[in-house]
Amino acid sequence: MLDNLTQRLSRVVKTMRGEARLTETNTQDMLREVRMALLEADVSLPVVRDFVARVKEKALGQDVVGSLNPGQALVGVVHKELTSLMGGDLGPEASELSLASQPPAVILMAGLQGAGKTTTTGKLAKWLLDGQHVHNGRKTGKKKVLVVSADVYRPAAIEQLKTVATQVQADFLPSDTSSKPEDIARGALDHARRHHYDVLIVDTAGRLGVDEAMMREIRALYDLLHPVETLFVVDAMQGQDAVNVAKAFADALPLTGVVLTKLDGDARGGAALSVRHVTGKPLKFVGVSEKLDGLEPFHPERMAQRVLGMGDIVSLVEQAQKNIDVAEAQKLAAKLKSGNRFDLNDFREQLQQVKKMGDMGSLLEKLPAQFAQAAGQLQTDQATKQLRRQEGILNAMTPAERAKPELLKASRKRRIAAGAGVPVQDVNRLLTQFDQMQGMMKQMKKGGMSKMMRAMGG
């Protein structure tokens, strides 16, 4: 996700950090790089101009020039401005769903055909059913969710919602293509009230382009349902177009938020950066996979960190916590802290934990750029395979060998390679990687991590 943008911006960040003094020239150079990176990511021109102007103004301000480390201070400015551009200035609650109405809280889904409305309806239902919903920083517990489709033009769309609902075990209210969308909505609201649902999600018909009939229809649904959330779903791959469509919807409907889907594809990311600025509405979620657990709440600050190559440690930990064996992780952490040597047994344990955590791609991109690089520039689709191969190699070693990697001379390596069914080079590669990791662990212990965190805070 947003690889190019992250690569370019993290290069800028790295250069800036190294600058002991800020001059007219290196500040201009930096601003030009940032500008190019944003334009290349398909961020719309007025947004880029505005952003660069703000950073420039602050960069020349006393806070930066007068600071001990102007390069770092400047990184802080860029981070802060990027956060606020993506909606950070609205406060952390802006990206939460507000479900605090008399139940059922109605969520109305709007967007063009193919944007991902139905998929997102399923993802949201799952998210609410699983009790992931957060209000004021607290999880509010599992919700009882009903979904319904008001797309009377495409029977396939209703079927699709039924399939998705079945997969996430949400209740699905069948709709009849001969009914009017408003009658379906009225019926669903009534059903949800009588059966004490917490949330009713209404999927609607989209068209290929913005048109008046669609807007009239969804507006009528809005007036009838009084939704607490009207979410506009848009495909990130559409780049600048996504933002234009978002603006058209925001002008016609009182949207409460935007969901940006397909951010896992080769989307350049511009939409994530411009949507708030152009529509005035916060991004609430991003879709990061076709699968129904591929929905992430949007946090401007974390996203800013991610695109600046600083990693998104908080989301990483959250994702990890869902699956990880906490006791094992604590044992490992304690071992590292106590200054004990990190050996191949620990490495193996770590691999096993990583495997449990889930999709490698979405984990790797939350790591700071320099760590992801140290991890060997893994191609995400190959990462899982590589993980399995590495585990095979580690399993072919004896516990004593794992505890004392220096025992691993040529003949042992040959035996291990044969045992794991891989060439000896693979064993060597794993050992090199392990060495790098050991180096990283040492650095982290020396405070590299906390220094990095401080830098992030500006």
| Residue positions forming the annotated binding site | 111-118, 203-207, 261-264
337-359 per-residue burial string, b: 16 or more CB within 10 A, e: under 16: eeeeebbbbbbbbebebbeebeb
Residue 145 burial by CB count (10 A; 0-12/13-18/19+): exposed, middle or buried?
A: buried
CA distance 135 to 128: 12
- Choose among 317, 322, 349: nearest CA to 334: 349
Say whether residue 301 binds ligand GDP (CB under 6 A): no
Minimum distance of ligand GDP from residue 47's CB (angstroms): 23
Identify residues 254-283 at the interface with ligand GDP (CB under 6 A).
Answer: 261-262, 264-265
Q: Provide the phi-psi class of 339: left if phi over 0, else alpha when psi is between -120 and 50, else beta.
A: left
- Please identify which residue in 15, 26, 98, 113 interacts with ligand GDP, judged by CB under 6 A: 113
Point out which span in 113-121, 298-306, 373-381, 392-400 binds ligand GDP (CB under 6 A).
113-121
Q: How far apart are CA 228 and CA 256, in angstroms?
A: 8
Please report how close the Cβ of residue 266 comes to ligand GDP at its closest, in angstroms: 10
Q: Which of 99, 115, 258, 427 binds ligand GDP (CB under 6 A)?
A: 115
Task: Determine if 206 is a binding residue for ligand GDP (CB under 6 A).
Answer: yes
DSSP-derived secondary structure for 74-121: HHHHHHHHHHHHTTGGG-GGGGS----SSSSEEEEEE--TTSSHHHHH
- Which range of residues in 100-108, 238-246, 285-293, 308-316 is near ligand GDP by CB under 6 A? 285-293
Between 113 and 433, whose beta carbon lies closer to ligand GDP? 113
Q: What are phi and psi of 104, to 5 degrees?
A: -75, 135
- 82-111: which residues touch ligand GDP (CB under 6 A)? 111
Q: Which residue numbers belong to the known binding site for GTP?
A: 111-118, 203-207, 261-264
- Interface with ligand GDP includes 126 (CB under 6 A)? no
Q: Which is nearer to ligand GDP, 111 or 405 (CB)?
A: 111
User: Considering beta carbons, is residue 10 or 204 the nearer one to ligand GDP?
Assistant: 204
Give the pair of three-digit tokens for residue 110. Answer: 């709007």
Report the site for ligand GDP in 172-201 (rule: CB under 6 A): none
Q: Does 361 bind ligand GDP (CB under 6 A)?
A: no
Q: Say whether residue 133 binds ligand GDP (CB under 6 A).
A: no
Tokens of 150: 């008001």
> Which residues, including other chains, have CB under 8 Å from residue 297's CB and lie 6 or more apart?
95, 96, 134, 284, 285
Q: Which is nearer to ligand GDP, 84 or 238 (CB)?
A: 238
Site for ligand GDP (CB under 6 A): which residue of 119, 149, 274, 390? 119
- Which helix H or strand E contains 170, and what residues bound it? none
Q: Per CB under 6 A, does 401 bind ligand GDP?
A: no
Distance CA 140, CA 84 (A): 27
CB atoms closer than 10 angstroms to residue 173: 20
Name the minimum Å distance from CB 161 to ligand GDP: 8
Q: Give the integer Cα–Cα distance in Å for 407 and 427.
A: 13
Count of residues touching ligand GDP (by CB under 6 A):
19
149 scored as a contact of ligand GDP (CB under 6 A): no
Binding site for ligand GDP (CB under 6 A): 111, 113-119, 160, 206, 261-262, 264-265, 287-290, 294
